[in-house]
Amino acid sequence: MAIFKPFKAVRPSRDKVGLFATRTYLSYSKKVLKDKLENNPYTFLHVINPEFEKNKKIQTKKKYNLIKEKYLKFLNNKIISKDKKSSFYIYQLTEKNINYTGIIGATSSQEYLDGTIKKHEKTISKREKLFSEYLSSTGFNADPVLLTYKSNKEIQKIISTVQKERAEYEFTTSDKISHKLWVISSKEEIQNISKKFKSIKSLYIADGHHRSASSARLNTSKNSKYFMSMLIDEEQLNVFSFNRVIKNTININEIDLINKLNEVFVVKKVRKIEFNTNIKNEILLITKSNSFSLTPKKGTYNNDLLSILPTSILSNNILKPIFKMDDNSKEINYISGKISNNEIFRIINDSKNSLAFILKPTNFNDIKEISDNSLVLPPKSTYIEPKLRSGITMFELEKNEP
């Protein structure tokens, strides 16, 4: 049973939502971030970057206090305000004619702990603790965890009916992605949505493992039993791989590398930078001068859920034995599978002593099976869309217990 409840969101006014909502600040270059902070007084980036005004690095705990101060200042200036009624929020973002639509509400931290909300990624305890401290100090969260569920026609019918009405928000951002938000505050509709989700056995984390784990930590230490999530039909997800660019390969000769790879892979030179077989754990190797298809030989891996994954095969048969690297090596750049293979080839040619490994994306049914068996994927195995905008809805922890 999935517990899903409405909450009173803190959110920007309709005329400022396009200026306020933002991508994660880590996705901006320093130059672009500086430009946005200097030229947009309404952006949420001001709240989470108090160092900008101080023009200096600030200690973590003091920074959290300044974030809360800035948040309260935005509330006082009515740039953002808290809804008077507990509501669900239907959020749709459209990128290149692909619609991603889900319902934002409050999910149970206890269901994360007892396994109703299933994970597929290993979390780092240090990051969990850091984000728990952030949440505890600031008292709000602006980024919904992306959870997914098995397709349900009745839930889809509810969403489609609401979308016939005028959206509360409708704006397009500079990355050419359009955003819409509908507010559901009637008791009858709220009860209907909550009831439909009670029939769903499991929810799966698509994006936000550390946010979920951090909220669960708070659940055991203080009154924070829920966290903000967007629930989306699993068929709407778009799963990409994370490809690897290996830097500083000056001591790796291409001929020697191919000879070593021949021991565990069927290696074929390819003219086009594209996969050569239907085998899901085929890997592409891109060097400055050539591209190769690598297909694992029999006996290279065990036939279990994790060993057959491209990320596992790459790590166990190439990165560790040949490059003496683990998944956390500083010499590895992880690049989203959204970036074209030709663009990665350009990156390799523009850099010194680099090469790349291109992986096929992991099927979401495989991800679910891994989650159902309480296993976790290797680091950077998946890049899942949609990527939600920060600040469209915000969740106040203690004040917002549904």
Q: Can you give the pLDDT at residue 196?
A: 96
- Residue whose C-alpha is closest to residue 147's, from 384, 402, 333, 399: 384
Q: Highest-confidence range of 31-35, 75-79, 305-309, by mean pLDDT?
A: 75-79
- Structural domains of the chain, with CATH: 4-237+386-400 (3.90.1530.10), 240-384 (3.30.1760.10)
| Residue type for position 378 | P
Question: What pTM was estimated for this model as a whole?
Answer: 0.92
Q: What is the mean pLDDT of residues 2-23?
A: 96
By C-alpha distance, which of 314, 334, 312, 310 is closest to 323?
314
Residue 212 has pLDDT above 90, yes or no: yes
pLDDT (0 to 100) of residue 379: 82
Pairing of strands 226-233, 98-108: antiparallel
Cα(307)–Cα(89) distance, integer angstroms: 40
Which structure tokens are listed for 292? 């190769």
Q: What percent of the chain has pLDDT over 90?
A: 76
Q: What spatial distance separates the first Cα and last Cα of the chain, rounded to whole Å?
A: 17
Phi and psi at 390, nearest 5°, equal -80, 140
pLDDT on residue 251: 78
pLDDT for 153? 95
Q: What is the mean pLDDT of residues 209-226?
A: 82
Is there a contact between 9 and 82 (Cβ–Cβ < 8 Å)?
A: yes
Judge whether residue 89 has pLDDT over 90. Answer: yes
Output the six-digit token pair for 60. 């973590």
Strands 226-233 and 203-207 turn out to be unpaired
When pLDDT is averaged across residues 163-173 and rounded to a whole number, the result is: 96
State the pLDDT at residue 222.
58
Closest CA to 9 of 168, 232, 214, 235: 168
Contact 284, 358 (CB under 8 A): yes
Mean local confidence (pLDDT), 393-397:
94
- Mean pLDDT (the chain) is 92
Provide mean pLDDT across the span 386-392. Answer: 95
Does the structure show a pLDDT above 70 at 400? no
Whole-number pLDDT of residue 26:
77
Question: What is the reported pLDDT for 389?
Answer: 95
Look at residue 359 and tell me whether its pLDDT is greater than 60: yes
Contacts for 45 with CB less than 8 Å, ≥ 6 apart: 22, 25, 28, 33, 36, 37
pLDDT in tens, 34-45: 899 999 999 999
- Interval 362-371 mean pLDDT: 94
Residue range 277-336, pLDDT digits in tens: 898 899 999 998 899 999 999 888 888 899 999 999 999 999 999 999 988 889 999 999
Angle at CA 241, nearest 5°, toward 238 and 247?
Answer: 150
As a whole number, mean pLDDT of residues 248-274 equals: 91
